[in-house]
């Protein structure tokens, strides 16, 4: 049996979404950005003046920066590799300091275990 719900499948406030209800769209322009890996990105901007668009854009394919000049794309920024906790400790202490701290900690541990 068919239900008598006349608004099945629609939301409260849903209606025709046209230009009359939303208002007029701003004029759009597509600007081409070029990255160092020969990728082309063409985002849309709601402007017609080239001075108001950003000079660089992130490339969605490789994550590098993309610029407006095809012949001279921006170089990717060099990021520091991931460092472990041990790498940071080794930057702060020499091997001799590490050995001294280790022997001190072992002596304290042995003293606790022996009960003295």
Structure tokens at 3: 């239900």
* C-alpha count within 13 angstroms, C-beta hemisphere, residue 15: 6
User: From residue 112, how far is each of 62, 102, 105 by CA, in Å?
Assistant: 55, 15, 11
pLDDT at 7 over 90: no
Domain coverage including residue 41? 26-67
Q: Is residue 12 part of a domain?
A: no
pLDDT tens, position by position, 59-83: 999 889 999 999 999 988 877 788 8
First to last CA, the chain: 86
Q: Is residue 80 part of a domain?
A: no
**E strand map for the chain:** 29-30, 33-35, 40-41, 44-45, 56-58, 65-67
Q: Is residue 5 part of a domain?
A: no
Q: Is residue 2 part of a domain?
A: no
- pLDDT range class, residue 109, cuts 50, 70, 90: very high
CATH assignment at residue 37: 2.20.28
Structurally, the chain folds into a number of domains equal to 2
């Amino acid at each position: 049996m068919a239900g008598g719900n006349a608004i099945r499948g629609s939301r409260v406030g849903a209606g025709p979404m046209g230009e009359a209800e939303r208002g007029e769209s701003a004029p759009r322009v597509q600007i081409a950005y070029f990255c160092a890996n020969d990728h082309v990105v063409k985002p849309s901007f709601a402007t017609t003046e080239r001075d108001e668009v950003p000079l660089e854009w992130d490339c969605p394919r490789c994550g590098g920066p993309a610029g407006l000049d095809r012949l001279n794309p921006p170089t990717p920024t060099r990021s520091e590799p991931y460092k472990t906790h041990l790498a940071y400790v080794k930057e702060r202490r020499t091997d001799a300091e590490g050995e001294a701290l280790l022997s001190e900690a072992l002596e304290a541990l042995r003293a606790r275990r022996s009960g003295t």
